[in-house]
């Protein structure tokens, strides 16, 4: 078993890179495994979170020596982010990348839901995954309208494309997006890594949609990005509220670095692309040294051993793989859930209905109109139902069209 605490990694003073070292060759959009692109997107989200977290930490840290150490670590994280995200090829449109983002949200969150030991936390992932699954379907329809291209060119047959919990119902009152946090002293170390990973992935999706949405000319595209961009902010709230706010900054820094080790190690096991694999290998070596530095800071300032909060070895490596069976099971059993306070209910309660009235203002939202527009142009919806008809009879296409 791999225990990151037992490795020194690449010495910090050897981690700065020059232009040549940062100039990575991007993957081939036509030949690459879709899950290679998913791993790149995931690690970009993780590195963005590393940079942002270190910034937030520095802003509340009065000690100039620690501020300099954090600045150094953050610069390295920043170079790592540039290298990772630059592995993505230039694409004709942001929409193609958007579809890959939703595929990440589906298959990463589904994996986490399958592995999560705590039932309350597992429910949070099962709840969220049905929503990003629906986003994938809405954007896939937009993709064919705007570009006359099919989403299966992006997601392949790995992830199905069909309705999930309808996007129109994701607009909940903000109070109902706040979950109860895990307890930092009793929760499994794996649960902390899960919450951080999914939160980071949702955070980059939120940032991406709020920036690329207005670049489109087509009104339906602009409107759909605005709608789903708002929901991704709800998702960040949903997942970040799972994290115990009582964790110290030192503890959070250690967990961040440990999670980076865990994910680079995981993706290194699965990666088929040699160029990308070399990046995962190098970055794992770097993260091992970040972890050592974070552990030293924690021992010194928190007066605790990092072993108290970490697992004795890495958990089972995270894998990108199809999750069609789980998604179909959740479609059949959790479609009609919404949230009330920190929990879940099947009835649409008053606060939810008021919020729905307010945001829709009596109109069809863009997420419904995009499907109608697709039917008008192509005579049917865009779907990829590789494992048979939709598990919910009312959502089979013929039934939906009446
Ligand atoms: Fe990093
Ligand atoms: Fe989404
Ligand atoms: Fe999301
Ligand atoms: Fe790091």
CA 288–ligand 2 middle distance (angstroms): 31
Ligand nearest to the CA of 103: 2
- The enclosing H or E element of 339 equals strand 338-340
Phi, psi of 338 (to 5 degrees): -135, -175
What is the structure's pLDDT at 402?
43
Helices (H), 242-381: 249-270, 274-301, 324-334, 350-360, 366-378
DSSP state of 394: G
Ligand nearest to the CA of 84: 1
Residue 337 to residues 198, 253, 354, 356, Cα–Cα distance (Å): 20, 35, 17, 15
CA 382 / ligand 4 centre spacing (Å): 40
17-71: pLDDT as tens digits: 999 999 999 999 889 999 999 999 999 999 999 999 999 999 999 999 999 999 9
The ligand with the least distance to the CA atom of 239 is 3
Task: Compute, in angstroms, the gap from residue 331 CA to the centroid of ligand 3.
Answer: 17
Minimal CA–CA distance to 223: which of 284, 139, 291, 288?
139
Query: Using one digit for the tens of pLDDT, what is the confidence trace for 97-144?
Result: 999 999 999 999 999 999 999 999 999 999 999 999 999 999 999 999
d(C-alpha 228, C-alpha 133), whole Å: 12
The CA 287 to ligand 4 mean position distance, Å, reads 5
Q: How far is the CA of 296 from the centre of ligand 4 (A)?
A: 14
Q: What is the CA(15)–ligand 3 centre distance, in A? A: 33
Q: 3-state DSSP call for residue 138?
A: helix
Distance CA 58, CA 52 (A): 10
**In this structure, how many other beta carbons lie within 10 angstroms of the beta carbon of residue 79?**
19
72: burial class by Cβ within 10 Å (0-12, 13-18, 19+)?
A: middle
CA atoms within 13 A on the CB side of 57: 27
C-alpha 278 – ligand 1 centre gap (Å): 15
Q: Fill in the DSSP letter of residue 25.
A: P
Q: How far from 44 is each of 80, 197, 264, 314, CA to CA, in Å?
A: 9, 11, 11, 21
How many Å lie between the centroid of ligand 1 and the Cα of residue 23? 17
CA-nearest of 137, 113, 145, 80 to 323 is 113
Identify the pLDDT of residue 30.
87
Q: Cα of 248 to ligand 3 centre, how many Å?
A: 27
Partners of 6 in the beta sheet? none
Q: What is the pLDDT of residue 277?
A: 98
Number of residues that this document lists for the chain: 402
CA distance 94 to 67: 36
Distance of CA 196 from the midpoint of ligand 4 (Å) = 14
C-alpha of residue 226 to centroid of ligand 3, in Å = 13
Q: Which residues contact 301 (CB under 8 A, 6 or more apart)?
A: 66, 250
The alpha carbon of 129 and the centre of ligand 3 are apart by a number of angstroms equal to 8
Cβ atoms of 138 and 228 within 8 Å: the answer is yes
pLDDT at residue 116 in the model: 98
- The CA R_g of the chain, rounded to the nearest whole Å, is 21
Q: Compute, in angstroms, the gap from residue 159 CA to the centroid of ligand 2.
A: 14
Per-residue pLDDT of the chain (402 residues; tens, 9 = 90+): 899 999 999 999 999 999 999 999 999 988 999 999 999 999 999 999 999 999 999 999 999 999 999 999 999 999 999 999 999 998 878 999 999 999 999 999 999 999 999 999 999 999 999 999 999 999 999 999 999 999 999 999 999 999 999 999 999 999 999 999 999 999 999 999 999 999 999 999 999 999 999 999 999 999 999 999 999 999 999 999 999 999 999 999 999 999 999 999 999 999 999 999 999 999 999 999 999 999 999 999 999 999 999 988 999 999 999 999 999 999 999 999 999 999 999 988 999 999 999 999 999 999 999 999 999 999 999 999 999 999 999 999 875 544
343 SS3 class? strand
């Amino acid at each position: 078993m791999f225990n990151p605490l037992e490795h020194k990694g690449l010495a910090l003073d050897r981690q700065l890179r020059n232009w040549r070292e940062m100039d990575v060759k991007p993957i081939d959009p036509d030949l690459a495994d879709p899950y290679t692109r998913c791993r790149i997107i995931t690690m970009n989200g993780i590195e963005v979170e590393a940079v942002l977290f270190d910034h937030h930490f520095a802003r509340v840290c009065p000690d100039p020596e620690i501020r300099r150490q954090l600045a150094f670590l953050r610069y390295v994280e920043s170079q790592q982010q540039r290298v990772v995200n630059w592995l993505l090829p230039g694409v004709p449109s942001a929409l193609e990348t958007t579809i890959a983002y939703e595929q990440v949200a589906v298959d990463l969150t589904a994996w986490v839901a399958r592995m999560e030991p705590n039932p309350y936390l597992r429910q949070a992932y099962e709840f969220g995954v049905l929503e990003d699954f629906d986003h994938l379907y809405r954007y896939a329809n937009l993709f064919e309208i705007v570009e006359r291209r099919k989403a299966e060119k992006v997601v392949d047959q790995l992830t199905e494309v069909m309705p999930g919990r309808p996007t129109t119902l994701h607009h909940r009152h903000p109070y109902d997006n706040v979950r109860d946090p895990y307890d930092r002293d009793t929760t499994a170390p794996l649960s902390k890594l899960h919450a951080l990973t999914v939160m980071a992935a949702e955070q980059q999706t939120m940032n991406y949609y709020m920036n690329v949405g207005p670049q489109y000319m087509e009104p339906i595209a602009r409107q759909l990005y605005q709608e789903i961009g708002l929901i991704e902010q709800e998702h960040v709230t949903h997942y970040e509220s799972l994290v115990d706010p009582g964790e110290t900054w030192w503890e959070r820094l250690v967990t961040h670095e440990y999670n980076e080790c865990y994910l680079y190690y995981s993706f290194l096991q699965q990666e088929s692309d040699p160029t990308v694999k070399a990046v995962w290998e190098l970055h794992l070596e770097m993260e091992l040294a970040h972890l050592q530095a974070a552990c030293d800071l924690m021992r010194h300032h928190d007066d605790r051993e990092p072993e108290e909060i970490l697992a004795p070895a890495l958990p089972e490596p995270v894998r990108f793989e199809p999750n069609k069976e789980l998604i179909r099971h959740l479609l059949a059993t959790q479609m009609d859930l919404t949230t009330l306070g920190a929990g879940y209910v099947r009835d649409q309660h008053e606060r939810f209905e008021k919020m729905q009235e307010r945001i829709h203002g009596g109109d069809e939202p863009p997420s419904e109109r995009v499907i109608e527009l697709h039917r008008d142009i192509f005579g049917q919806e865009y779907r990829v139902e590789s494992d048979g008809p939709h598990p919910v009879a009312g959502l089979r296409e013929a039934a939906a069209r009446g």
